[in-house]
Amino acid sequence: MPVDVPLIERKQREARRRIVAAAEELFAARGFAAVSVSDIAERAEVGRTTFFRHFGDKQEVVFAREQELLDLLAAETLETDGPDDRSASAALRALEPVLLCLCERMTADLDGYRRHVRLVEDHPELGAREGVKMQVVTERLTDLLVAQGWAGGTATFAAEIALACYRTARRTSPDPATLVAATRTAIHHALGLGTR
């Protein structure tokens, strides 16, 4: 049986979807700099007020997918090694499936992800915005660990190391099809750092 979503929420989701699709088409056709919020709203057939109900500015639309994943992240739970192991290594092992799942979802639409990466690389202000999003991811991962009983300092450390693994994968594997595997490899390298 389909979940019963109230009409107003369905309409809002539909408007958001149309805004994202319109922005992508316009960015691809004219380039990011040449597109205004008004252009996007017009093509999506929504008012500017509706645009700003969903997104703070034009840049934010570029990270619509990341934001949805961030919202999902808040509801994640971690599987832990055991009730007693609250070491940094156990924290990193607990984050691994969550981080890989994020990478999988981000690259589920490979062409869309490639367009996104190109857009961010071509515009320094979008690169800066992406850095801020990564900071938010780190904070959410830290919160997940703290909720499972890790000490704040250990949780912060493990979350930063997890993000370092993701960044390594992004920099060393330009092909998004290998992002998940490269992130997994980097995490395993991190977990073996002291042993080599």
**Residues touching a second copy: how many (CB under 8 A)?**
36
- Minimum Å gap between C-beta 44 and a second copy is 26
Q: Is 121 in the site for a second copy (CB under 8 A)?
A: no
Q: Is 123 in the site for a second copy (CB under 8 A)?
A: no
CA separation, residue 88 to residues 108, 146, 169 (Å): 30, 12, 21
Q: How far apart are CA 189 and CA 30, in angstroms?
A: 42
Contact flags string 8-47 toward a second copy, x per CB under 8 A: ----------------------------------------
Q: Is 65 in the site for a second copy (CB under 8 A)?
A: no
Q: Is 161 in the site for a second copy (CB under 8 A)?
A: yes
- Minimum Å gap between C-beta 166 and a second copy is 9
Applying CB under 8 A, the span of 27-35, 47-55, 111-119, 154-162 interacting with a second copy comes to 154-162
Q: How far apart are CA 112 and CA 110, in angstroms?
A: 5
Q: Is 149 in the site for a second copy (CB under 8 A)?
A: no
Which member of 129, 141, 144, 180 binds a second copy (CB under 8 A)? Answer: 129
Task: Specify the 3-state DSSP secondary structure of 158.
Answer: helix
Mention every residue, 6+ apart, whose C-beta is less than 8 A from residue 43: 22, 25, 26
SS3 readout for 133-163: HHHHHHHHHHHHHHHCCCCHHHHHHHHHHHH
Task: Specify the 3-state DSSP secondary structure of 62.
Answer: helix
| Cβ nearer to a second copy, comparing 45 with 81 | 81
Which member of 12, 67, 80, 89 binds a second copy (CB under 8 A)? Answer: 89
In the chain the first and final C-alpha atoms are separated, in Å, by 54
Closest to 102 measured CA to CA, from 59, 145, 158, 166 = 166
Q: How far apart are CA 66 and CA 130, in angstroms?
A: 9
Residue ranges binding a second copy (CB under 8 A) = 87-89, 92, 124-125, 127-129, 131-132, 134-135, 138, 152-153, 156-157, 160-161, 163-165, 167-168, 171-172, 186, 189-196
